[in-house]
Amino acid sequence: MRNTVLSLLCTLLLFSCTKENESKPQPSPNRDSLSKGTSVKEPKWEERAEFGKFFSDANVEGTFLLYDPQENQYLVWNPERARTPYLPASTFKIFNSLVALETGAIKDENDTISWDGVKRQIPDWNRTHDLRSAIKYSVVWYYQELARRIGEERMQHYIDTANYGNRDISGGIDRFWLDGGLRITAGQQIDFLVRLHNNTLPFSQRTMNIVKDIMILKETPDYIYRGKTGWVLRDSTSVGWFVGYLQRGEKVWFFATNIRMEGDKDVPKRKEITWDILKFLGLVGGEE
């Protein structure tokens, strides 16, 4: 009799524990769990030596990284450089735009900030701008004003929440992405853009929709081409960035290119190399 009672109690206890576990929400897979035996597969990395021709033809040193989510694969030229962190320079305008819209530092893409009257080296900067024109012409003073309006506390919050680069905003609220502490790799640039495209960044849908719209460089019946350039000018490190993504119907490819810049002659090469490789891969046609 005693053995029967004990057996019954054990059965009831086991049933209770099973029901309790079933009622608890189970964690969903994330990037941190990729190496912990989940069913989520790590992306493959494939070095493509033929990409090097486009850099040698342009007479520049650099890297190109393409992420193809359809194949869960990275194609890369110069993987060591692709994993090297650099200042984001004006590619940070993508993130700055998101935070400015989310915090109300600017109302929408048509909200203007008046030019302060200070003549700057680039003529297109010397006028009043809205968000759409400021990202198109990469107007530094406009985005510095947005950063000041956002403030250090809110900026740090979103940098941390979105896990952007090394999350270091030291060096001044209106300088940290230009010559301060912030650093990002080509791989991290792509990770950020993937999350923007997938609407998984810590911003409202409205905010992300506006930023994706103002990033469009070209739109045709066949594809949408989004991107942003950047130029790091600091000491002996002069790096030119071009990051973005190409969307054709339901398919999308993300890219990050950076090169060593020797002067104005190298300015167009970031975009030219990127386009030539996309064309080589058969993802776009002849004209840019």
Q: Please measure the distance between the N-terminal and C-terminal CA atoms of the chain and give it in whole angstroms.
A: 85
| Number of neighbouring beta carbons within 10 Å of residue 21 | 9
Upper half-sphere CA count for residue 28 (Cβ side, 13 Å): 0
Options 90, 97, 204, 238, the catalytic residue: 90
Give yes or no for a contact between 61 and 261, defined as CB atoms under 8 angstroms apart: no
Q: Which residues contact 89 (CB under 8 A, 6 or more apart)?
A: 177, 178, 230, 231, 232, 233, 239, 241
Q: What's the angle, vertex CA 286, arms to CA 231 and CA 275, rounded to 5?
A: 20
Does 114 qualify as catalytic in the annotation? no
Residue from 248, 268, 250, 249 nearest 259 by CA = 268
How far is 147 from 152, CA to CA, in rounded Å? Answer: 8
Q: Which residues contact 242 (CB under 8 A, 6 or more apart)?
A: 227, 228, 229, 230, 255, 256, 257, 258, 270, 271, 274
Element (H, E) at 132: helix 131-136
How far is 61 from 231, CA to CA, in rounded Å? Answer: 15
Query: Which residues are the active-site residues?
Result: 90
